Amino acid sequence: VSRLIFASRISMVVGFVPTAIVFGLGVTVGVTAGFFGGWLDQLLMRFTDIVYAFPDFLFLLIIVASFRASPFGKLLDGLMLIFVAIAIVGWVGVARLTRGQVLALKEREFVEAARSVGATPRRIMAKHLLPNALAPLIVTAAFVVPNAMLGEATLSFLGVGIIPPTPSWGQMINE
């Protein structure tokens, strides 16, 4: 029972830490692409599409299997590698959603009002666009957390996740 409780603690950390990284990266890319548009939007969205083209779990498995033997792969019993791998796989959906929201909002009156009083692009993005795009992003976070937990459990079940003796739900199911 104590192992199960400790594993649930690990799963919660694996759920929330990569989600923070996913949102930091995805929101930054999405707001930047949506606000500035043009060649920067094209460049960022084509890169996003390339990452999005790979199946999530296959990409996750390739990343973890490739770096597991490295010193980085052993940090915190493999947790750091799991965090980064889930973030690399998961940010694209958040970036696309954020970009869509920013494209819908950037022509609204409150953004024009901010421009007319001399607000910088950074201020417009941070104080006007991002808060108004937050509702769908919060809903998305509710899906990213369990997907991250499921990804870690699946990797651990396959034997490439968290390094034993640190308990994981996937390892326990495998045993």
Q: What is the mean pLDDT of residues 146-175?
A: 90
* pLDDT in the model for residue 71: 86
State the number of CA atoms in the 13 A half-sphere of 36 facing the CB: 16
Model pLDDT for residues 89-119, shown as the tens digit of each residue: 999 999 999 999 999 999 999 999 999 999 9
Q: Which residues contact 157 (CB under 8 A, 6 or more apart)?
A: 170, 171, 173, 174
Higher pLDDT, 23 or 71: 23
pLDDT of 47 over the 80 cut: yes
User: pLDDT tens-digit profile of 134-143?
Assistant: 999 999 999 9
Q: Across the chain, what does the average pLDDT equal?
A: 93
The amino acid at 119: A
Give per-residue burial for 1-36: e unless 16+ CB within 10 Å, then b: eeeeeebeebbebbbebbbebbbebbbbbbbbbbbe
Q: Confidence class of residue 39 from pLDDT cuts 50, 70 and 90? A: very high
Say if residue 67 is exposed, middle or buried (CB neighbours under 10 Å; 0-12, 13-18, 19+).
middle
- Check residue 22 and give its pLDDT: 96
For position 161, what pLDDT does the model report? 87
- pLDDT band (50, 70, 90) for residue 46: very high
Domains and CATH numbers, the chain: 2-174 (1.10.3720.10)
pLDDT tens digits for range 64-84: 999 988 888 888 888 999 999
* Banded pLDDT at 9 (limits 50, 70, 90): very high
Q: Is the pTM higher than 0.95?
A: no
Residue 165 is predicted with a pLDDT of: 85
Burial of 65 (0-12, 13-18, 19+ CB in 10 A): middle
